Amino acid sequence: MKRLALVVAAVAAVSAAIYSRPVVRAQGSEAAKAPAAAAGQAPAEDLFNGQWKINRSKSRVAKGESPLKEDITIRVEDGIEHYMVDVATADNVATKNKVDAKFNDGKWYPYTNMTTGKSTSQVMMIRVDPRTEYRFMKNAAGQSTGVLMRRMAEDGKSYTSTMMTLEGEISLVRYFERP
């Protein structure tokens, strides 16, 4: 557990250093709200809120292929991300999952299969800045399974999810757009 805490702290520190460079932006734009939120002012709307669909042509995976469908709904309220995903794989396997997780509290939250009602894994969420968040994952047995980074595009119309294995290899990059 101490090792995981060190990894979480290191990832958060590196991300903050990389993504917190000052940038001149037009007032009133979605991009202009991001620095205000990082400075402790709440933006009118969380950049990740809304519906998202995978763009298979822009996504890539190390093994296999991207799902035929991956529809995501995100709603962030009071520092808690409410996340639901509806997935259909090329093998005709469909799943619906959800998680409600508070950012930056160091706690694990159940990632639940909505059909069975059972937790299949656990996640910890770290929000580094308004456009960058990390999801640390562990399986039902409590073993770490990897890290996912979500990075919102500057214009707020798309984001990428980049999954890293425990060996530090990128296992997938999924590209999501607003419908």
Question: Please, what is the average pLDDT of the chain?
Answer: 83
| Rounded distance between C-alpha atoms, residue 12 and residue 90, angstroms | 34
| Model confidence pLDDT, tens digit, residues 89-132 | 988 899 999 999 999 999 999 999 999 999 999 999 999 999 99
Tokens 């939250």 appear where? 109
Number of domains in the chain: 1
List the one residue out of 158, 106, 110, 154 whose CA is nearest residue 129: 154
Q: What is the CATH number of the domain that holds 135?
A: 2.40.128.20
In contact, 54 and 176? CB cutoff 8 Å: yes
Per-residue model confidence (pLDDT) at position 157: 97
For 152, list phi and psi in degrees, rounded to 5: -75, 140
| Rounded distance between C-alpha atoms, residue 51 and residue 140, angstroms | 28
The dihedral built from the CA positions of residue 38, 160, 5 and 20, taken in this order, carries a sign that is negative
Quote the domain boundaries for residue 95. Answer: 2-177
Percent of the chain with pLDDT over 90: 72
| Rounded distance between C-alpha atoms, residue 85 and residue 24, angstroms | 35
CB-CB neighbours of 82 under 10 Å: 14
